Structure 1
């Protein structure tokens, strides 16, 4: 009986202790919850309600490019596109979406590399990949003797070719789509496909957007060229959607608010005026919750299309000049000694404003596929390639002679050839008698220029004796003077990659004589155009420019918007000297084309527009694409040039023609004069219309 009583008293005690413990714990929990709610409740509430604003920029169409008569040259063509925006999706989520999207679209796989295939195979076969690591390697990993990267490389290397071949074409399409997904930055759309997206693909994807998180159907754009290849090398290119920002300019563009996948101008006009053509991107605000889920979207700024460029180019004239060059270049190729002839250039410029009316270049190249010789656009070569130009520089030589006091108006020299010790006779193409500077220009006397150079160098000539100069700065004096006209220096054209030309390195006296007849340094067609414009307009070196206006985009169906900026004429420098000096050179240039005996008279006689100008022929060394075909040094070739302006009394157009390597041997095909006459005839004929 006593034992039973003891048991009964012990059980209630334990039960009471249990109840007490539970009560105590609940009391502590309630106190803790109350403390948390009172002290930290507001903070937790704010965290739960917290939202994050993320502004996303979207690209807009680039500005259009027009010619001076508002004919559209470069436009935007809309095209179907499919994009993906990563709103915080995991790798597995994106892979699932890629697999679904691959069922609806055809995606090219040519950009998929072997490394990409290995990575994808690893994602698809995690168990097989893990089995490629040995127990010994796992033990080394556990001891920190192998890193995660070491194991990853081991797995990659151990994937066999047979295993990679297990990937089907469908797998590769999924991989190609997944690659595009992975390029994106959070909330920044990336282009999945914008080439050859069919209407059917657009419709099917649009119908299934709910099951394709992050995927959108939209409209992309592409550049179209109304005049096809005309001026194509100067217009430049825009990066493709897969390229994004150029690697060498990445930091530059990112600092200016660009996204990595933005399309930008990567060459010539498109690159030079990128800030104008690119426009202001639209801005959308995405509001996310704490987990990163988008809960609201608002358009902050609809964006503006890029500004339009109006060029100074007359495209009708440009095409006409292109055709003339093509016809004369093909014609020249039918003449003897033209195995190396493959290009020609023409620049037409308003000498009073610097506006470029035409910059035409054509080049013959061999098509690698067909093996046939075809004509391609090389307008770029008008300012990126330079050549010896010959006698066209003689106007600058005479004016340099005036400025230095080497000659004065109506100075006469005998055109008899000069014999300098240990050098061949340096002479004109024929003996031209006693000449003043005007007739020296008219008949293109070399010897007159030689005597002028000797005086600039303060030298003394004696038959078959060495020629020495006491003026050691003669080369610099002449080159600086030439540069004031635009020869041997940058013209300032509003396009990148302009070349200044090659300057001969030797300063032996004989080379100074070559310099003043255009047989030593090299110049571009654009430099020749600026030089002859400077003489034509009375001594003002005008900066050439291809852009005439920057305009706002057209609105309400209008093709052209209001003028935002007018490109005004810019005088880079004024040539030092008396006006009478320029007038005498202008008279000499007029005689070249309008008076019997002038070197261009036979081709320009009877021209109603009263042309003035200067011809040029330079013996040069060939350094073109066929150079390697010669077992020895290529034969010397002749470069042909022509500068002109018209009308001679009140010039409105200046012209430079340059035909490098026009012929070798003695058969002058006169391609420069044939092209020049036809171009000026065409200009004034079109002006009348």
Structure 2
């Protein structure tokens, strides 16, 4: 019996050994290659599945920013030595060069010889030296490259590729690259590049191809300053963003709506398990948590109106510059180069258009960045909310409101313009018509003074009213204050006042407020400077009867899941200005006269909709053309929209009114194809319109 048991055990052992031998034979001989391929895939990874960002649309649902799928090259940390790694990067350069794809980096040294530092300012320079302690401030750009050449073991790298390689390695180190933190080596890579890398996958250890979402700005440059952009997370940002679930390879909103609405647009990333293969792909596995797309942001702007505003700004600025140059005399608009246009709903505070010229293309922002920063016309600057401008005669309606409200003048009172204001012995400024034509405006009331833009009338009115009342009413109408628009770049501007003047000078004598300051403030000169959006909101407040609304550009936010409302912006009243209807009617009648018989008559002659407006010509320097401004609202009897136009060095205020007319044409549906040239710029207009 015992022998039988022993025999059975031996049989079992033999069978087990035979099974093991057969299994080994199967794995190594019969299906060896298959199991080898499978083993190549057995590097498991938990992959973050990126959520697509939410779309951004205009008020009518037209998509302004969407997503598209593309490829990225992801670098995983391996045991590759520095020299081998450098060789691998150089091979990538060869592949990229064949397709014209350029790897970008943030090393502050120019891409080509002669090498120079590319710091934007001293603050950026100081910060960089603090972060790179091994580099002396006395080093030249060439010496900095030599420092990194030694650090990255790049002695054998060809000179024509050295700067590029150092830049990439610098960014990899700066990103916190580690086993747990891969690095996105290249984004939005062409399919041809991906194919070549896959064909030579054995030459690129640690590099995988991933599919990502990329932002698509569907209308080119339109609304670029509003929409903003996304970009890589900076190392100094990461500490805070890490707590919110971001990784260093994530993109985050950097400017505009992309930044302001980041928490809504980003969505929720998902996760999936997969295997990392030698063919450079992260192999598909099981989805553990599905990604949730970001919410949709609906803006208040009308994208068609926005485009008209931007196109009109560009066209008219170029025309002014061309005609100014043809004039032959200096300071006739030949230096016109930039401007802004704002259109706002007078009854809600909704921003319908917010245009700045020049602008930029957010789709090519990274590639164009160096040239954009160096451009003297500052295309990255959102002039509509960040630029502050002396208002010129566009301020006169405000002075009239302050004077009428305080009883300094009455609606029917007439003041006689004598050309030269001689109330003060030591300061006797002239009315513009005296300076231009050696004429006077005669005896006129306040409405007529707005039509004629009589400086003399407003010198006297300003003197009687006093600076305190003028500055107080300016603030009531939102001048020198932020409008409340969601965009973070908004500045508040400044109202001319004794208190503000003291902040401008250190010397007590220069700080002293004098009578001339008051009367210059009254005509929109002196120390006042306002943003185009605050000027638009000020006129909207006049137009609607004295209700100042908070300006806003976000209409609503919608869930990507079911389209339900996540957030709705409601009209918000900032202030109800205590001013009588009679006073506002007196002022508005004057503004109607500006387009009927005053300085904007030529632009609005025969226009089917009554427009109330005021031109402004603000002197900036004797070495440059005056700034041109135009503020307005329409329809006059039942206002819907207020518009402000500013053209830097536009020569005369009326020149800015052409842009406003184009905006009204689009808003009221008057820009028919058969009338396409009705609002075109006349080469003689510069010489025919009146100064204010």
Which TM-score bucket, shorter chain as reference? 0.5 to 0.7
Matches within 5 A, 1:261-340: 261-284=249-272, 299-333=287-321, 334-335=323-324, 336=327, 337-340=332-335
Which residue of 2 is the match for residue 524 of structure 1?
Answer: 531
Residue 187 to residue 66, structure 1, CA distance change in 2 (3 Å): same
The alpha carbon displacement at 1:514 in A equals 0.8
| Cα distance between partner residues in 2 of 1:489 and 1:497 | 14
Aligned partner (choices 331, 334, 346) of residue 351 of structure 1: 346
Which residue of 1 is the match for residue 51 of structure 2?
Answer: 60
| Cα distance between partner residues in 1 of 2:246 and 2:179 | 15
Contact kept, 8 Å, 2:611 with 2:632, in 1: the verdict is yes
SS at match of 2:559: strand
Larger Rg, first or second structure (1 or 2) = 1
Matches within 5 A, 1:632-671: 635=623, 637-663=625-651, 668=652, 670-671=654-655
Contact kept, 8 Å, 2:265 with 2:295, in 1: the verdict is yes
Which residue of 2 is the match for residue 418 of structure 1?
Answer: 421
Contact kept, 8 Å, 1:81 with 1:219, in 2: the verdict is yes
Matches within 5 A, 1:283-682: 283-284=271-272, 299-333=287-321, 334-335=323-324, 336=327, 337-363=332-358, 380-416=382-418, 417-419=420-422, 420-427=424-431, 429=433, 430-457=439-466, 474-475=467-468, 477-502=469-494, 505=501, 506=511, 507-520=513-526, 521-553=528-560, 561-594=563-596, 596=597, 598-621=598-621, 635=623, 637-663=625-651, 668=652, 670-682=654-666
| Cα distance between partner residues in 1 of 2:401 and 2:627 | 24
SS at match of 1:486: coil
Residue 564 to residue 94, structure 1, CA distance change in 2 (3 Å): farther
| Cα distance between partner residues in 1 of 2:463 and 2:450 | 18
Aligned partner (choices 193, 198, 201) of residue 191 of structure 2: 198
Contact kept, 8 Å, 1:279 with 1:305, in 2: the verdict is yes
The alpha carbon displacement at 1:309 in A equals 1.6
Contact kept, 8 Å, 1:326 with 1:375, in 2: the verdict is no
Contact kept, 8 Å, 1:102 with 1:170, in 2: the verdict is no
SS at match of 1:360: strand
| Cα distance between partner residues in 2 of 1:519 and 1:433 | 23
The alpha carbon displacement at 1:199 in A equals 5.0
| Cα distance between partner residues in 2 of 1:455 and 1:162 | 74
SS at match of 1:320: helix
| Cα distance between partner residues in 2 of 1:383 and 1:297 | 49
| Cα distance between partner residues in 2 of 1:114 and 1:586 | 54
| Cα distance between partner residues in 1 of 2:415 and 2:297 | 52
Residue 204 to residue 572, structure 1, CA distance change in 2 (3 Å): same
SS at match of 1:266: strand
SS at match of 1:424: coil
- How many residues of Structure 1 are paired with residues of Structure 2 in the alignment? 538
Which residue of 2 is the match for residue 460 of structure 1?
Answer: none
SS at match of 1:548: strand
The alpha carbon displacement at 1:385 in A equals 0.9
Q: TM-score, normalised by structure 2?
A: 0.68
| Cα distance between partner residues in 2 of 1:396 and 1:325 | 26
The alpha carbon displacement at 1:267 in A equals 1.7
The alpha carbon displacement at 1:587 in A equals 2.1
1:209-258 deviation per Cα after TM superposition (whole angstroms, max 9, x unaligned): 9x99875432123222221122223322211xxxx323453333233232
| Cα distance between partner residues in 2 of 1:309 and 1:554 | 13
Q: TM-score, normalised by structure 1?
A: 0.68
1:32-72 deviation per Cα after TM superposition (whole angstroms, max 9, x unaligned): xxxxxxxxxxxxxxxxxxxxx99875432222221222222
Aligned partner (choices 663, 667, 675) of residue 683 of structure 1: 667
1:333-377 deviation per Cα after TM superposition (whole angstroms, max 9, x unaligned): 223322322123221111111122122222499x999xxx99996
- For structure 1, which segment, 211-220 or 316-325, has the greater mean C-alpha deviation from structure 2 after superposition? 211-220
| Cα distance between partner residues in 1 of 2:182 and 2:672 | 53
Which residue of 1 is the match for residue 506 of structure 2?
Answer: none
Point out where structure 1 has 5 or more consecutive residues left out of the alignment: 1-52, 116-155, 288-295, 458-473, 556-560, 622-633
SS at match of 1:650: coil
Which residue of 2 is the match for residue 81 of structure 1?
Answer: 72
- For structure 1, which segment, 489-498 or 581-590, has the greater mean C-alpha deviation from structure 2 after superposition? 581-590
Residue 167 to residue 585, structure 1, CA distance change in 2 (3 Å): closer
Matches within 5 A, 1:121-270: 164-167=154-157, 180=172, 183-184=176-177, 186-199=179-192, 201=194, 205=198, 216-239=208-231, 244-270=232-258
1:578-605 deviation per Cα after TM superposition (whole angstroms, max 9, x unaligned): 23222222222222223x4x33233323
The alpha carbon displacement at 1:198 in A equals 3.1
| Cα distance between partner residues in 1 of 2:48 and 2:148 | 43
| Cα distance between partner residues in 1 of 2:379 and 2:158 | 44
Contact kept, 8 Å, 1:58 with 1:283, in 2: the verdict is yes
| Cα distance between partner residues in 2 of 1:96 and 1:250 | 30
1:128-147 deviation per Cα after TM superposition (whole angstroms, max 9, x unaligned): xxxxxxxxxxxxxxxxxxxx
Contact kept, 8 Å, 1:389 with 1:658, in 2: the verdict is no
| Cα distance between partner residues in 2 of 1:298 and 1:216 | 19
| Cα distance between partner residues in 2 of 1:662 and 1:263 | 40
| Cα distance between partner residues in 2 of 1:396 and 1:205 | 68
| Cα distance between partner residues in 1 of 2:83 and 2:626 | 64
The alpha carbon displacement at 1:656 in A equals 0.9
| Cα distance between partner residues in 1 of 2:165 and 2:393 | 66
SS at match of 1:642: strand
SS at match of 1:434: strand
Contact kept, 8 Å, 2:308 with 2:662, in 1: the verdict is no
Residue 421 to residue 255, structure 1, CA distance change in 2 (3 Å): farther
Contact kept, 8 Å, 1:343 with 1:364, in 2: the verdict is no
| Cα distance between partner residues in 1 of 2:576 and 2:663 | 29
| Cα distance between partner residues in 1 of 2:534 and 2:154 | 59
